[in-house]
Chains A and B, each alone.
Chain A
Amino acid sequence: MHSFSYVKATSVKQAVDLLAANAEAKLLSGGMTLIPTMKARLAQPSHLIDIAGIAELSGIEVKDGKLTIGAATKHVEVSRSAVVKKAIPALAYLAGHIGDPQVRNRGTIGGSLANNDPAADYPSAALSLGATIVTNKREIAADDYFQGMFATALDAGEMIVKIVFPVPAKAAYEKFPHPASGYAMAGAFVSQHGKTVRVAITGAGPGVFRWTEAEAALGKKLAAASVESLNVDASNLNEDMHGTKEYRANLAKVMTKRAVAKLGK
């Protein structure tokens, strides 16, 4: 790892001021992606601003049909939270299936959403549930937030403070983890809000995306059979040593069907 200066911030304001003062600075939360990236010398920030201990970034609460989770909340906390389990059990399930136990003890929801790894789990929940990403500057709708591989609507110097999830009538998440890495080769988060159904697919493409044809069919009849005749457009999906575009398109459909079947339970 190249050398850098480590600074522990105690408030959002201090963290943002430090970011503004140092063009090559990066925020450090759990560090589960950033530290390996720096070891591989794919990133060499001048400063790491540790935001893990900032009180304003913690907390989980439900109010007026909305679940709010602080950006520095760890995956283990979301997975075990009685509040999350009651409001959106699919989100607690998703958090409990990220990486491995040691990673869940450090990694945070804000870090996952800021990084926007194409195979990360949280982006699918945020997009399907129509979450709002609240930063130090503004509120960003999930539909505008995710912009492809590792790209988001966040500006330089902007940081996520909390995430607000509308509580759906029903939701479910299913993924096909790669047997070695555990990353989703395809994952589907399906949620129902009134008559609207939203389906977000992660892992299969260069970034999380909505499968709108499935949403329309599931909006008419919420059953796994509704997507049977549909196919995810494979043309823009990922293709590598682990699988072809067509394989991933099929996996995305199978995960969607499994998630829909789980909704009924």
Chain B
Amino acid sequence: MAKVELKINGKQHSFDVEDRTLLVNLIRDHAQLTGTHVGCDTSQCGACTIHMNGVAVKSCTVLAGQANGADITTIEGMAKGDKLHPVQQAFTECHALQCGFCTPGMIMAVSGFLKDNPKPTDEEIYRGLEGNLCRCTGYINIVKAVKQAAKAMSK
């Protein structure tokens, strides 16, 4: 067993978990934040994407122990009260989701790469989304939403 102390969405937590616990399981089962999804569990689909110390990572491929002391943001930490994060707002307005399963991971990946590249070209958006799969294949509206979010955030 290992003691893992970390901050999730601004709140300090301390958990006693098995060493083999994955970060995504700590988030979902121990912190009870089920917005972060497990899609493939093989680090291909990106549904489990969260921010660890400000960068997008796939939480199904990080051990809870590796996140000891980290500052984690999940989809639940993106909105400020009733005000959605600009990426969430753009996904809503552009109808960038169908079933919605991939959406939390998409939003965390997009908000991650917009920090590094606030004005991406179409090609850069495609490359930025390489780690996330939408099995409804609704990519056209997702790309639209990324552009709209980039515009909103640059204001």
Chain A interface (Cβ < 8 Å from any Cβ of B): 1-6, 8, 28, 31-32, 35-36, 39-40, 48, 50, 52, 76, 99-103, 105-106, 181-182
Contacts and interface: CB of A to CB of B under 8 A. Distances in A.
Given A101-B109, A102-B131, A8 B56 contact: no
B45 to A, nearest CB: 11
A105 B56 contact: yes
A48 B57 contact: no
A31 B65 contact: no
Contacts, number: 76
A101 B130 contact: yes
Interface residues of B, number: 29
Of listed A2, A6, A32, A102, residue having the most chain B CB within 10 A: A102
A73 to B, nearest CB: 15
A31 B56 contact: no
A36 B19 contact: no
Contact of B61 (A2, A4, A36, A50): A36
Across chains A and B, which 3 residue pairs bring their CB atoms closest together, nearest first? A100-B131, A6-B19, A100-B130
A5 B113 CA distance: 34
Contacts of A99: 130-131
Binding site secondary structure of chain B = mixed
Interface of B: 2, 18-20, 22, 41-44, 46, 49, 55-58, 61-63, 65-66, 68, 109, 112-113, 127-128, 130-132
Contacts of B109: 101-102
A189 to B, nearest CB: 20
A31 B43 CA distance: 11
B113 A103 contact: no
B61 A6 contact: no
A76 B58 CA distance: 15
Contact of A31 (B2, B41, B62, B127): B62
Contacts of B112: 101-102, 105
A182 B49 CA distance: 18
A83 B109 CA distance: 27
A36 B44 CA distance: 10
A35 B63 contact: yes
A261 B91 CA distance: 41
A205 to B, nearest CB: 24
Nearest to A47: B19
Contacts of B113: 101
Contact of A4 (B19, B58, B62, B68): B19
Nearest to A97: B127
Given A36-B42, A39-B42, A101-B56, A106 B131 contact: no
Of listed B22, B66, B127, B128, residue having the most chain A CB within 10 A: B66
8 contacts: A3-B18, A31-B62, A31-B66, A36-B42, A76-B55, A99-B130, A101-B127, A106-B61
A4 B130 contact: no
A6 B65 contact: yes
Contacts of A2: 20
